[in-house]
Structure 1
Amino acid sequence: MKISCIAVDDEPLALELVCKFIGQTSFLELLGRFDNAIEALQFINSTEVDLIFLDIQMPDLSGMELARIIDGKQGRKKPKIVFTTAYNQFAIEGYKVDALDYLLKPFSYEEFLKATTKAYEFYEKQTLEQAVSLGITTSDFIFLKVEYQLVKVMLSDILYVEAYKDYVKVHLKSKPNPLLSLTSMKNMEELLPANDFLRVHRSYIVNVNHIDAISKNMLQVGDAHLAVSEHYKEGFLKFIEKWMK
Protein backbone atom coordinates (compact mmCIF):
# COMPACT_ATOMS: atom_id res chain seq x y z
CA MET A 1 0.00 0.00 0.00
CA LYS A 2 1.33 3.42 -1.01
CA ILE A 3 0.31 6.64 0.77
CA SER A 4 0.28 9.68 -1.52
CA CYS A 5 1.59 12.84 0.12
CA ILE A 6 2.75 16.41 -0.36
CA ALA A 7 5.15 18.60 1.62
CA VAL A 8 4.45 22.26 2.35
CA ASP A 9 7.04 24.58 3.94
CA ASP A 10 8.32 28.05 3.11
CA GLU A 11 11.81 27.23 4.44
CA PRO A 12 13.82 25.63 1.59
CA LEU A 13 16.05 23.54 3.87
CA ALA A 14 13.11 22.26 5.93
CA LEU A 15 11.17 21.42 2.75
CA GLU A 16 14.18 19.60 1.33
CA LEU A 17 14.59 17.55 4.52
CA VAL A 18 10.94 16.42 4.56
CA CYS A 19 11.13 15.43 0.89
CA LYS A 20 14.33 13.52 1.59
CA PHE A 21 12.65 11.63 4.46
CA ILE A 22 9.65 10.85 2.23
CA GLY A 23 12.00 9.41 -0.38
CA GLN A 24 13.56 7.15 2.25
CA THR A 25 10.17 5.73 3.27
CA SER A 26 9.01 2.90 1.02
CA PHE A 27 5.27 3.27 1.65
CA LEU A 28 5.16 7.02 0.89
CA GLU A 29 4.73 8.53 -2.59
CA LEU A 30 5.57 12.23 -3.00
CA LEU A 31 3.11 13.93 -5.37
CA GLY A 32 4.31 17.50 -4.90
CA ARG A 33 6.33 20.01 -2.87
CA PHE A 34 5.17 23.57 -2.20
CA ASP A 35 6.70 26.62 -0.54
CA ASN A 36 3.33 28.25 0.15
CA ALA A 37 -0.06 27.05 1.33
CA ILE A 38 -2.08 28.74 -1.45
CA GLU A 39 -0.45 26.64 -4.19
CA ALA A 40 -0.80 23.57 -2.00
CA LEU A 41 -4.54 24.22 -1.59
CA GLN A 42 -4.99 24.53 -5.37
CA PHE A 43 -3.22 21.19 -5.80
CA ILE A 44 -5.32 19.50 -3.09
CA ASN A 45 -8.52 20.74 -4.76
CA SER A 46 -7.58 19.04 -8.02
CA THR A 47 -5.67 15.94 -6.85
CA GLU A 48 -6.46 13.27 -4.29
CA VAL A 49 -3.85 13.35 -1.53
CA ASP A 50 -3.69 11.05 1.49
CA LEU A 51 -1.20 12.89 3.70
CA ILE A 52 0.17 16.44 4.06
CA PHE A 53 3.38 17.38 5.84
CA LEU A 54 2.50 20.96 6.72
CA ASP A 55 4.49 23.82 8.21
CA ILE A 56 2.37 26.18 10.33
CA GLN A 57 3.94 29.62 10.11
CA MET A 58 3.86 30.73 6.47
CA PRO A 59 3.01 34.06 4.80
CA ASP A 60 -0.35 34.82 3.13
CA LEU A 61 -2.03 31.59 4.27
CA SER A 62 -0.71 29.79 7.34
CA GLY A 63 -0.59 26.03 7.70
CA MET A 64 -3.21 26.16 10.45
CA GLU A 65 -5.55 28.18 8.21
CA LEU A 66 -5.04 25.64 5.41
CA ALA A 67 -5.81 22.83 7.84
CA ARG A 68 -9.07 24.52 8.89
CA ILE A 69 -10.11 24.87 5.23
CA ILE A 70 -9.41 21.19 4.63
CA ASP A 71 -11.21 20.16 7.82
CA GLY A 72 -14.30 22.10 6.72
CA LYS A 73 -14.52 20.51 3.28
CA GLN A 74 -17.55 18.35 2.57
CA GLY A 75 -18.22 15.52 0.13
CA ARG A 76 -14.70 14.25 -0.50
CA LYS A 77 -11.98 12.40 1.33
CA LYS A 78 -9.95 14.68 3.56
CA PRO A 79 -6.18 14.18 3.66
CA LYS A 80 -4.59 13.58 7.04
CA ILE A 81 -2.13 16.17 8.30
CA VAL A 82 1.23 15.94 10.05
CA PHE A 83 2.29 19.40 11.22
CA THR A 84 5.99 20.32 11.05
CA THR A 85 6.88 23.42 13.04
CA ALA A 86 9.49 24.99 15.31
CA TYR A 87 6.83 26.22 17.74
CA ASN A 88 5.17 23.88 20.23
CA GLN A 89 2.37 26.30 21.21
CA PHE A 90 0.32 25.18 18.21
CA ALA A 91 -0.06 21.56 19.39
CA ILE A 92 -3.55 21.97 20.87
CA GLU A 93 -4.80 23.84 17.79
CA GLY A 94 -3.38 21.04 15.65
CA TYR A 95 -5.48 18.42 17.35
CA LYS A 96 -8.58 20.60 16.97
CA VAL A 97 -8.28 20.17 13.19
CA ASP A 98 -7.79 16.41 13.62
CA ALA A 99 -4.06 16.43 12.84
CA LEU A 100 -2.54 12.99 12.80
CA ASP A 101 0.69 14.08 14.45
CA TYR A 102 2.87 17.03 15.31
CA LEU A 103 6.61 17.09 14.54
CA LEU A 104 8.68 19.71 16.35
CA LYS A 105 11.64 21.00 14.34
CA PRO A 106 14.36 19.90 14.20
CA PHE A 107 13.15 16.30 14.05
CA SER A 108 15.00 13.11 13.19
CA TYR A 109 14.08 10.47 10.62
CA GLU A 110 13.12 8.19 13.52
CA GLU A 111 10.54 10.74 14.69
CA PHE A 112 9.36 11.25 11.11
CA LEU A 113 8.94 7.49 10.60
CA LYS A 114 6.96 7.18 13.84
CA ALA A 115 4.50 9.82 12.59
CA THR A 116 4.20 8.29 9.12
CA THR A 117 3.63 4.85 10.63
CA LYS A 118 0.52 6.30 12.30
CA ALA A 119 -0.67 7.31 8.84
CA TYR A 120 0.09 3.86 7.44
CA GLU A 121 -1.84 2.15 10.25
CA PHE A 122 -4.78 4.55 9.74
CA TYR A 123 -5.05 3.83 6.00
CA GLU A 124 -4.36 0.12 6.52
CA LYS A 125 -7.37 -0.10 8.84
CA GLN A 126 -9.47 1.96 6.44
CA THR A 127 -8.53 -0.30 3.51
CA LEU A 128 -9.50 -3.39 5.47
CA GLU A 129 -12.85 -1.90 6.50
CA GLN A 130 -13.60 -0.96 2.89
CA ALA A 131 -12.71 -4.45 1.67
CA VAL A 132 -15.02 -6.07 4.22
CA SER A 133 -17.84 -3.72 3.21
CA LEU A 134 -17.69 -4.82 -0.46
CA GLY A 135 -20.15 -7.62 0.22
CA ILE A 136 -17.67 -10.50 -0.13
CA THR A 137 -17.99 -12.63 2.96
CA THR A 138 -14.93 -12.71 5.18
CA SER A 139 -15.26 -16.52 5.32
CA ASP A 140 -13.78 -16.62 1.80
CA PHE A 141 -10.56 -14.71 2.44
CA ILE A 142 -8.35 -12.96 4.93
CA PHE A 143 -6.01 -9.98 4.69
CA LEU A 144 -2.41 -10.46 5.76
CA LYS A 145 0.09 -7.71 6.44
CA VAL A 146 3.06 -8.46 4.18
CA GLU A 147 5.81 -5.84 4.40
CA TYR A 148 4.00 -2.49 3.95
CA GLN A 149 0.80 -3.67 2.33
CA LEU A 150 -2.30 -5.73 3.00
CA VAL A 151 -2.49 -8.83 0.82
CA LYS A 152 -5.79 -10.57 0.19
CA VAL A 153 -5.45 -14.35 0.56
CA MET A 154 -8.18 -16.79 -0.34
CA LEU A 155 -8.66 -19.37 2.41
CA SER A 156 -8.93 -22.16 -0.13
CA ASP A 157 -5.42 -21.31 -1.38
CA ILE A 158 -3.74 -21.80 2.01
CA LEU A 159 -2.00 -25.17 2.43
CA TYR A 160 -0.62 -24.61 5.91
CA VAL A 161 0.77 -21.93 8.21
CA GLU A 162 4.22 -22.27 9.75
CA ALA A 163 5.69 -20.35 12.72
CA TYR A 164 8.88 -18.44 11.89
CA LYS A 165 10.41 -16.34 14.71
CA ASP A 166 8.13 -13.27 15.13
CA TYR A 167 6.45 -13.99 11.79
CA VAL A 168 4.38 -16.71 10.17
CA LYS A 169 4.97 -18.32 6.80
CA VAL A 170 1.72 -18.88 4.89
CA HIS A 171 2.25 -21.63 2.33
CA LEU A 172 -0.05 -21.30 -0.66
CA LYS A 173 -1.13 -23.72 -3.35
CA SER A 174 -0.83 -21.02 -6.01
CA LYS A 175 2.69 -19.74 -5.19
CA PRO A 176 6.06 -21.50 -4.90
CA ASN A 177 7.23 -19.28 -2.02
CA PRO A 178 5.30 -18.63 1.21
CA LEU A 179 4.03 -15.23 2.29
CA LEU A 180 5.86 -13.85 5.32
CA SER A 181 3.52 -11.95 7.64
CA LEU A 182 4.30 -10.15 10.90
CA THR A 183 1.75 -11.81 13.18
CA SER A 184 1.55 -14.67 15.67
CA MET A 185 0.33 -18.24 15.38
CA LYS A 186 -2.27 -17.44 18.04
CA ASN A 187 -3.64 -14.60 15.91
CA MET A 188 -3.70 -16.85 12.85
CA GLU A 189 -5.51 -19.58 14.78
CA GLU A 190 -8.19 -17.06 15.82
CA LEU A 191 -8.40 -15.63 12.30
CA LEU A 192 -8.78 -18.92 10.40
CA PRO A 193 -12.16 -20.77 10.54
CA ALA A 194 -11.99 -23.86 12.78
CA ASN A 195 -14.04 -25.96 10.34
CA ASP A 196 -11.25 -25.85 7.77
CA PHE A 197 -8.06 -25.24 9.75
CA LEU A 198 -6.50 -27.39 12.46
CA ARG A 199 -3.62 -26.60 14.82
CA VAL A 200 -1.47 -29.74 14.98
CA HIS A 201 1.76 -28.33 16.44
CA ARG A 202 2.97 -25.11 18.04
CA SER A 203 4.58 -24.45 14.64
CA TYR A 204 1.83 -25.62 12.25
CA ILE A 205 -1.78 -24.89 11.33
CA VAL A 206 -3.04 -26.96 8.40
CA ASN A 207 -5.90 -26.59 5.96
CA VAL A 208 -7.70 -29.92 6.41
CA ASN A 209 -8.97 -29.74 2.82
CA HIS A 210 -5.40 -30.09 1.56
CA ILE A 211 -4.29 -33.02 3.73
CA ASP A 212 -3.11 -35.82 1.41
CA ALA A 213 -2.14 -38.50 3.94
CA ILE A 214 -2.32 -39.15 7.69
CA SER A 215 -0.27 -41.39 9.98
CA LYS A 216 -0.12 -41.65 13.76
CA ASN A 217 2.13 -38.65 14.40
CA MET A 218 2.50 -37.13 10.95
CA LEU A 219 0.45 -35.75 8.13
CA GLN A 220 1.26 -34.86 4.55
CA VAL A 221 0.22 -31.65 2.82
CA GLY A 222 1.54 -31.59 -0.72
CA ASP A 223 5.29 -32.23 -0.48
CA ALA A 224 5.45 -31.24 3.19
CA HIS A 225 5.46 -33.77 6.04
CA LEU A 226 4.31 -32.08 9.26
CA ALA A 227 4.65 -33.44 12.79
CA VAL A 228 1.69 -33.66 15.17
CA SER A 229 2.73 -32.76 18.73
CA GLU A 230 1.42 -34.33 21.96
CA HIS A 231 -0.23 -31.07 23.02
CA TYR A 232 -2.48 -31.07 19.94
CA LYS A 233 -2.88 -34.83 19.50
CA GLU A 234 -6.32 -35.05 21.13
CA GLY A 235 -7.83 -32.60 18.67
CA PHE A 236 -5.98 -34.28 15.83
CA LEU A 237 -7.34 -37.75 16.77
CA LYS A 238 -10.87 -36.37 16.89
CA PHE A 239 -10.31 -34.99 13.41
CA ILE A 240 -9.06 -38.41 12.18
CA GLU A 241 -12.16 -40.11 13.57
CA LYS A 242 -14.37 -37.62 11.75
CA TRP A 243 -12.27 -37.84 8.58
CA MET A 244 -12.41 -41.66 8.43
CA LYS A 245 -16.19 -41.94 8.87
Structure 2
Amino acid sequence: MTLVSCIAVDDEPLALGLVCSFIEKTPFLKLVGRYSSAVEALEAIHSQPIDLIFLDIQMPDLTGIELARVIDKKEGKTPKLIFTTAFNHFALEGYKVDALDYLLKPFNYEEFLRAATKAQAYMELVHRAAAPPSPQAPTEEYLYLKVEYQMYRILYDDILYMEGLKDYVKVHLKNEPKPLLSLTSLKSLEDKLPESKFMRIHRSYIVNLDQINAITKNSIQIQGQTIPVSEQYKEAFSQFLSKWL
Protein backbone atom coordinates (compact mmCIF):
# COMPACT_ATOMS: atom_id res chain seq x y z
CA MET A 1 0.00 0.00 0.00
CA THR A 2 1.38 3.40 -0.99
CA LEU A 3 1.45 5.77 2.01
CA VAL A 4 0.58 9.31 0.89
CA SER A 5 2.09 12.15 2.95
CA CYS A 6 -0.21 15.16 2.99
CA ILE A 7 -0.97 18.54 4.52
CA ALA A 8 -4.23 20.44 4.99
CA VAL A 9 -4.57 24.18 4.35
CA ASP A 10 -7.68 26.17 5.33
CA ASP A 11 -8.18 29.53 7.08
CA GLU A 12 -11.41 28.30 8.75
CA PRO A 13 -10.51 26.40 11.97
CA LEU A 14 -13.57 24.11 11.86
CA ALA A 15 -13.01 23.19 8.21
CA LEU A 16 -9.30 22.61 8.84
CA GLY A 17 -10.05 20.41 11.84
CA LEU A 18 -12.54 18.34 9.86
CA VAL A 19 -10.14 17.67 7.00
CA CYS A 20 -7.35 16.75 9.42
CA SER A 21 -9.65 14.34 11.26
CA PHE A 22 -10.60 12.72 7.95
CA ILE A 23 -6.91 12.38 7.00
CA GLU A 24 -6.02 10.81 10.34
CA LYS A 25 -8.75 8.17 10.07
CA THR A 26 -7.67 7.15 6.54
CA PRO A 27 -5.04 4.34 6.71
CA PHE A 28 -3.11 5.26 3.56
CA LEU A 29 -2.83 9.00 4.37
CA LYS A 30 -0.16 10.46 6.65
CA LEU A 31 -0.80 13.97 8.00
CA VAL A 32 2.52 15.86 8.18
CA GLY A 33 1.18 19.39 8.69
CA ARG A 34 -1.86 21.64 9.08
CA TYR A 35 -1.84 25.33 8.15
CA SER A 36 -4.31 28.19 8.40
CA SER A 37 -2.80 30.14 5.52
CA ALA A 38 -1.27 29.38 2.13
CA VAL A 39 1.79 31.47 3.02
CA GLU A 40 2.54 29.21 6.02
CA ALA A 41 2.00 26.13 3.88
CA LEU A 42 4.40 27.36 1.19
CA GLU A 43 7.36 27.23 3.56
CA ALA A 44 6.51 23.65 4.53
CA ILE A 45 6.12 22.61 0.88
CA HIS A 46 9.67 23.80 0.15
CA SER A 47 11.20 22.23 3.27
CA GLN A 48 9.84 18.66 3.28
CA PRO A 49 8.57 16.01 0.87
CA ILE A 50 4.78 16.21 0.48
CA ASP A 51 2.71 14.08 -1.88
CA LEU A 52 -0.71 15.69 -1.53
CA ILE A 53 -2.31 18.95 -0.36
CA PHE A 54 -5.93 19.37 0.69
CA LEU A 55 -6.24 23.03 -0.17
CA ASP A 56 -8.94 25.64 0.44
CA ILE A 57 -9.32 28.21 -2.36
CA GLN A 58 -10.76 31.34 -0.72
CA MET A 59 -8.06 32.52 1.71
CA PRO A 60 -6.59 35.94 2.55
CA ASP A 61 -3.08 37.00 1.44
CA LEU A 62 -2.64 34.07 -0.96
CA THR A 63 -5.51 32.04 -2.43
CA GLY A 64 -5.39 28.32 -3.08
CA ILE A 65 -5.28 28.91 -6.85
CA GLU A 66 -2.37 31.34 -6.46
CA LEU A 67 -0.51 28.85 -4.25
CA ALA A 68 -1.07 26.14 -6.87
CA ARG A 69 0.55 28.35 -9.52
CA VAL A 70 3.56 28.95 -7.27
CA ILE A 71 3.91 25.22 -6.59
CA ASP A 72 3.77 24.48 -10.32
CA LYS A 73 6.99 26.49 -10.76
CA LYS A 74 8.79 24.60 -7.99
CA GLU A 75 11.81 22.59 -9.10
CA GLY A 76 11.75 18.84 -8.56
CA LYS A 77 8.78 16.80 -7.43
CA THR A 78 5.66 18.88 -6.85
CA PRO A 79 2.76 17.77 -4.61
CA LYS A 80 -0.66 17.09 -6.12
CA LEU A 81 -3.75 19.02 -5.09
CA ILE A 82 -7.29 18.32 -3.94
CA PHE A 83 -9.22 21.57 -3.61
CA THR A 84 -11.79 22.08 -0.85
CA THR A 85 -14.14 25.04 -1.36
CA ALA A 86 -17.69 26.23 -0.88
CA PHE A 87 -17.84 27.69 -4.40
CA ASN A 88 -18.41 25.38 -7.37
CA HIS A 89 -17.47 28.04 -9.95
CA PHE A 90 -13.79 27.39 -9.15
CA ALA A 91 -13.89 23.93 -10.73
CA LEU A 92 -12.48 25.12 -14.07
CA GLU A 93 -9.64 26.99 -12.35
CA GLY A 94 -8.84 23.83 -10.42
CA TYR A 95 -8.63 21.85 -13.64
CA LYS A 96 -6.28 24.41 -15.19
CA VAL A 97 -3.75 23.98 -12.39
CA ASP A 98 -3.88 20.19 -12.73
CA ALA A 99 -5.75 19.41 -9.51
CA LEU A 100 -6.54 15.75 -8.86
CA ASP A 101 -10.01 16.44 -7.49
CA TYR A 102 -12.40 19.06 -6.16
CA LEU A 103 -14.41 18.70 -2.91
CA LEU A 104 -17.38 21.02 -2.53
CA LYS A 105 -18.10 22.07 1.07
CA PRO A 106 -19.80 20.75 3.08
CA PHE A 107 -18.55 17.26 2.22
CA ASN A 108 -18.73 14.07 4.26
CA TYR A 109 -16.14 11.36 4.85
CA GLU A 110 -17.44 9.19 2.02
CA GLU A 111 -16.83 12.01 -0.48
CA PHE A 112 -13.45 12.74 1.09
CA LEU A 113 -12.42 9.08 0.92
CA ARG A 114 -13.41 8.86 -2.75
CA ALA A 115 -11.09 11.78 -3.58
CA ALA A 116 -8.30 10.43 -1.35
CA THR A 117 -8.52 6.99 -2.96
CA LYS A 118 -8.20 8.61 -6.37
CA ALA A 119 -5.04 10.36 -5.15
CA GLN A 120 -3.60 7.10 -3.81
CA ALA A 121 -4.27 5.35 -7.12
CA TYR A 122 -2.52 8.19 -8.94
CA MET A 123 0.52 7.96 -6.64
CA GLU A 124 0.76 4.20 -7.17
CA LEU A 125 0.72 4.67 -10.94
CA VAL A 126 3.45 7.31 -10.72
CA HIS A 127 5.61 5.15 -8.44
CA ARG A 128 5.27 2.14 -10.74
CA ALA A 129 6.08 4.23 -13.80
CA ALA A 130 9.16 5.73 -12.11
CA ALA A 131 10.51 2.46 -10.75
CA PRO A 132 13.42 1.07 -12.81
CA PRO A 133 12.49 -2.21 -14.50
CA SER A 134 14.24 -5.36 -13.35
CA PRO A 135 16.59 -7.02 -15.88
CA GLN A 136 14.00 -9.72 -16.49
CA ALA A 137 11.06 -7.33 -16.79
CA PRO A 138 9.65 -6.79 -20.29
CA THR A 139 9.64 -3.29 -21.73
CA GLU A 140 6.43 -1.43 -20.91
CA GLU A 141 4.06 -1.26 -23.85
CA TYR A 142 1.74 1.42 -22.55
CA LEU A 143 1.45 5.09 -21.73
CA TYR A 144 -0.13 6.71 -18.66
CA LEU A 145 -2.33 9.66 -19.63
CA LYS A 146 -4.31 11.98 -17.39
CA VAL A 147 -7.79 12.72 -18.79
CA GLU A 148 -9.75 15.16 -16.63
CA TYR A 149 -9.40 13.69 -13.11
CA GLN A 150 -8.55 10.11 -14.12
CA MET A 151 -5.38 8.28 -15.14
CA TYR A 152 -5.68 6.05 -18.22
CA ARG A 153 -3.29 3.27 -19.18
CA ILE A 154 -3.15 3.20 -22.98
CA LEU A 155 -1.41 0.48 -24.96
CA TYR A 156 1.02 1.81 -27.56
CA ASP A 157 -0.54 -0.48 -30.15
CA ASP A 158 -3.95 1.17 -29.62
CA ILE A 159 -2.65 4.66 -30.44
CA LEU A 160 -3.13 5.88 -34.02
CA TYR A 161 -1.72 9.39 -33.68
CA MET A 162 -1.58 12.38 -31.33
CA GLU A 163 -2.67 15.87 -32.21
CA GLY A 164 -1.49 18.97 -30.34
CA LEU A 165 -4.04 21.73 -29.69
CA LYS A 166 -2.40 24.59 -27.77
CA ASP A 167 -2.57 23.46 -24.11
CA TYR A 168 -4.19 20.10 -24.89
CA VAL A 169 -3.41 16.92 -26.80
CA LYS A 170 -5.93 14.72 -28.58
CA VAL A 171 -4.96 11.03 -28.56
CA HIS A 172 -6.69 9.17 -31.38
CA LEU A 173 -7.18 5.47 -30.68
CA LYS A 174 -8.15 2.38 -32.65
CA ASN A 175 -11.80 1.38 -32.37
CA GLU A 176 -12.65 4.56 -30.45
CA PRO A 177 -14.89 7.13 -32.18
CA LYS A 178 -13.76 10.00 -29.93
CA PRO A 179 -10.15 10.87 -29.06
CA LEU A 180 -9.00 11.27 -25.44
CA LEU A 181 -8.33 14.91 -24.50
CA SER A 182 -5.50 15.56 -22.04
CA LEU A 183 -4.23 18.81 -20.55
CA THR A 184 -0.58 18.30 -21.48
CA SER A 185 1.89 19.16 -24.24
CA LEU A 186 2.89 17.18 -27.30
CA LYS A 187 6.56 17.61 -26.28
CA SER A 188 5.87 16.04 -22.89
CA LEU A 189 4.31 12.97 -24.52
CA GLU A 190 7.04 12.78 -27.17
CA ASP A 191 9.65 12.42 -24.43
CA LYS A 192 7.80 9.42 -22.96
CA LEU A 193 7.19 7.51 -26.20
CA PRO A 194 9.64 4.97 -27.68
CA GLU A 195 11.37 6.31 -30.80
CA SER A 196 11.13 2.89 -32.42
CA LYS A 197 7.33 3.10 -32.51
CA PHE A 198 6.46 6.81 -32.70
CA MET A 199 7.66 9.78 -34.71
CA ARG A 200 6.89 13.47 -34.63
CA ILE A 201 6.30 14.57 -38.22
CA HIS A 202 4.75 17.97 -37.58
CA ARG A 203 4.69 20.47 -34.71
CA SER A 204 1.07 19.35 -34.17
CA TYR A 205 1.33 15.59 -34.80
CA ILE A 206 3.03 12.46 -33.48
CA VAL A 207 2.17 9.26 -35.34
CA ASN A 208 2.37 5.57 -34.54
CA LEU A 209 4.67 4.20 -37.25
CA ASP A 210 3.00 0.79 -37.12
CA GLN A 211 -0.39 2.33 -37.98
CA ILE A 212 0.66 4.04 -41.24
CA ASN A 213 -1.42 2.80 -44.20
CA ALA A 214 0.06 4.92 -46.99
CA ILE A 215 2.93 7.33 -47.39
CA THR A 216 4.07 10.10 -49.75
CA LYS A 217 7.00 12.50 -49.72
CA ASN A 218 5.03 15.11 -47.79
CA SER A 219 2.36 13.22 -45.86
CA ILE A 220 1.24 9.96 -44.34
CA GLN A 221 -2.17 8.36 -44.05
CA ILE A 222 -3.62 6.56 -41.03
CA GLN A 223 -7.11 5.05 -41.29
CA GLY A 224 -8.15 7.55 -43.95
CA GLN A 225 -6.71 10.57 -42.13
CA THR A 226 -4.01 12.43 -44.08
CA ILE A 227 -1.36 14.00 -41.84
CA PRO A 228 1.21 16.45 -43.29
CA VAL A 229 4.96 16.26 -42.77
CA SER A 230 6.33 19.71 -41.96
CA GLU A 231 9.69 21.01 -43.18
CA GLN A 232 11.19 20.87 -39.68
CA TYR A 233 10.79 17.08 -39.50
CA LYS A 234 11.44 16.12 -43.14
CA GLU A 235 15.03 14.95 -42.67
CA ALA A 236 14.11 12.40 -39.97
CA PHE A 237 11.04 11.42 -41.95
CA SER A 238 13.13 10.87 -45.09
CA GLN A 239 15.29 8.38 -43.21
CA PHE A 240 12.17 6.50 -42.20
CA LEU A 241 10.78 6.77 -45.74
CA SER A 242 13.90 5.07 -47.15
CA LYS A 243 12.87 1.89 -45.31
CA TRP A 244 9.61 1.86 -47.28
CA LEU A 245 11.26 2.26 -50.69
Fold in common (TM above 0.5): yes
Which residue in 2 is equivalent to 1:209? Answer: 210
Q: CA contact under 8 A between 1:141 and 1:152: conserved in structure 2?
A: yes
Taking the aligned partners of 2:139 and 2:181, their CA distance within structure 1 comes to 21
Q: How does 1:214-225 map to 2 (within 5 A)?
A: 214-225=215-226
CA distance in 1, matches of 2:169, 2:55: 34
1:74 alignment partner in structure 2: none
Cα displacement string for residues 190-230 of structure 1 (whole angstroms, at most 9, x for unaligned residues)? 21111111111111110010001112222111131111122
SS for the counterpart of 1:33 is: helix
Q: TM-score, normalised by structure 1?
A: 0.58
Counterpart of 1:33 in structure 2 is 18
Amino acid at match of 1:44: E
Counterpart residue type for residue 33 of structure 1: L
Please name the residue that 2:95 is paired with: none
Query: More displaced, 194-203 or 235-244?
Result: 235-244
- For residue 141 of structure 1, report the CA deviation from its aligned partner: 1.1
Structure 1 gaps, min length 5: 19-31, 51-77
Aligned to 2:24: 44
Query: Measured at CA, do residues 97 and 111 of structure 1 come closer, stay the same or move farther in structure 2, by a change above 3 Å?
Result: same
**Counterpart of 2:233?**
232
Mapped contact 1:6–1:33 kept (Cα < 8 A): no
Matches within 5 A, 1:1-245: 14-15=13-14, 33=18, 40=21, 44=24, 47-48=26-27, 50=29, 78-84=30-36, 107=59, 111-113=63-65, 118-120=79-81, 124=122, 127-133=125-131, 137=138, 139-244=140-245
Alpha-carbon distance change, 242 to 109 in structure 1, aligned in 2, over 3 angstroms? farther
CA distance in 1, matches of 2:44, 2:13: 22
CA distance in 1, matches of 2:44, 2:7: 21
What letter is aligned with 1:128? Answer: V
Aligned-pair CA distance for 1:164 = 0.4
Give the C-alpha shift of residue 95 in structure 1.
Answer: 8.7
Counterpart CA distance in 2 for 1:206 and 1:94 is 39
Deviations 1:98-132 (A, max 9, x none): 7777989x825972356678443795555311355
SS of the residue corresponding to residue 18 of structure 2 reads strand
In structure 2, the CA distance between the partners of 1:91 and 1:113, relative to structure 1 (3 Å rule), is: closer
The one-letter amino acid paired with 2:191 is E
Q: Which amino acid aligns with 1:130?
A: R
| Cα distance in 2 for residues equivalent to 1:191 and 1:183 | 12
CA distance in structure 2 between the aligned counterparts of 1:87 and 1:201, rounded to whole angstroms: 43
State whether residues 85 and 103 of structure 1, in contact with CA within 8 Å, keep that contact through their aligned partners in structure 2.
Answer: no
Change (3 A) 1:96 1:162: closer
Matched pairs, number: 191
Please tell me the residue identity of whatever aligns with 2:198.
F
Post-superposition offset of 1:242: 0.9
Q: TM-score, normalised by structure 2?
A: 0.58
Q: Secondary structure at the match of 1:177?
A: coil
Alpha carbons 2:9, 2:35 under 8 Å: kept: no
Q: 1:82 to 1:209 in 2, by over 3 A?
A: farther
The SS at the match of 2:233 is: helix
Runs of 4+ in 1 over 6 A off after TM superposition: 5-9, 85-88, 90-104
How many Å separate the matches in 2 of 1:15 and 1:146? Answer: 33
Give the conservation status (yes or no) of the 8 Å contact 2:9–2:55: no
- Kindly, what percent of the aligned residue pairs are identical? 37
Instruction: Give the gaps of 5 or more residues in structure 2.
Output: 72-78, 82-98, 101-118
